[in-house]
């Protein structure tokens, strides 16, 4: 089967780093800014950045409803940090008017690990990622307060949930796109491949 095409939501945030990581994990990666571009991808990454800005721009660009519709229909999607917040069913402490795409039945707390100068690195064991623990880079990162019954917790740090999967949706509090270790992107590319295989049976 041909190489999967994975989009990176390119409204704000560390888009380029995700494009590089996806290409290194054997996907064709392209930025997505318009509904027509969204329609053409087999999977989507929502990058780290500022979730309030991403939310605002998604509404402004007419992408929020198409994003919700595709994710609801099972589009494989992976969110890091601000992207995790965008995939949450509920934000504990949203800015006024802040919206999410949804996809994972979880409640997230923004900036839970502290401010920019309290950013840190930690070894994180991620279920489904073989080998050594992943170097987790936490930058004004959210944590997950609670998950619904359909969500699977893939990793915790300091007693808090930092990686979750629900069906075709994956989210991490940390930023594998910034460390040069492409195993989490590899896991997501495998999810996209599995979804395409299932779809073509
Ligand atoms: N590194 C990040 O993506 C930070 C996320 C940011 N604190 C937010 O609320 O969106």
What ipTM was assigned to the predicted interfaces of this complex? 0.94
Mean pLDDT (whole number) for 40-54: 98
SS3 string, the chain, reads CCCCEEEEECCCCCHHHHHHHHHHCCCEEEEECCHHHHCCCCEEEECCCCHHHHHHHHHHCCCHHHHHHHHHCCCCEEEECHHHHHHEEEECCCCCCCCCCCCEEEEEECCCCCCHHHCEEEEECCCCCCCCCEEEEECCCCEEEEECCCCEEEEEECCEEEEEEECCEEEECCCHHHCCCCHHHHHHHHHHHHHHHHHHC
**From the alpha carbon of 80, which atom of ligand 1 is closest?**
3
Rg of the chain over CA atoms, in angstroms? 15
Q: For residue 83, give the ligand 1 atom closest to its CA.
A: 3
Neighbours of 166 (CB within 10 A): 19
| Residue positions forming the annotated binding site for L-glutamine | 49-51, 110, 139-140
Check: CATH 3.40.50.880 for 5-200? yes
Mutate to test the pocket of ligand 1, among 45, 47, 119, 142 (most ligand atoms within 8 A of CB): 142
Q: Which residue has 């502290």 as its token pair?
A: 114
Residue 175 annotated to the active site: yes
Residue ranges around ligand 1 (CB below 6 Å)? 48-51, 81-82, 85, 110-111, 139-140
Domains of the chain, by residue range, sit at 5-200
Residue 37 catalytic? no
160 among known catalytic residues: no
Express each pLDDT in 110-166 by its tens digit: 999 987 778 999 999 999 999 999 999 999 999 999 999 999 999 999 999 999 999
Average pLDDT score, the chain: 96
pLDDT score of 42 more than 70:
yes
């Amino acid at each position: 089967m041909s190489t999967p095409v994975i989009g990176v939501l390119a409204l704000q945030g560390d888009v380029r780093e995700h494009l590089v990581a996806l290409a290194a994990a054997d996907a064709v990666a392209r930025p997505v800014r318009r509904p027509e571009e969204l329609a053409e991808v087999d999977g989507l990454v929502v990058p780290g950045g500022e979730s309030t800005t991403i939310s605002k721009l998604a509404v402004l660009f007419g992408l929020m409803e198409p994003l919700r519709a595709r994710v609801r229909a099972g589009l494989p999607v992976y969110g890091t940090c601000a992207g995790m917040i965008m995939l949450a069913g509920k934000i504990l402490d949203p800015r006024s008017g802040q919206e999410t795409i949804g996809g994972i039945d979880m409640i997230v707390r923004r900036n839970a690990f502290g401010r920019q100068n309290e950013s840190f690195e930690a070894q994180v064991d991620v279920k489904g990622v073989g080998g050594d623990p992943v170097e987790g880079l936490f930058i004004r990162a959210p944590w997950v307060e609670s998950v619904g019954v359909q969500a699977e917790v893939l990793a915790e740090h300091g007693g808090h949930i930092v990686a979750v999967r629900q069906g075709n949706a994956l989210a991490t509090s940390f930023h594998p796109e910034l460390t040069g270790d492409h195993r989490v992107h590899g896991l997501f590319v495998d999810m996209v491949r599995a979804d395409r295989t299932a779809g073509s049976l």
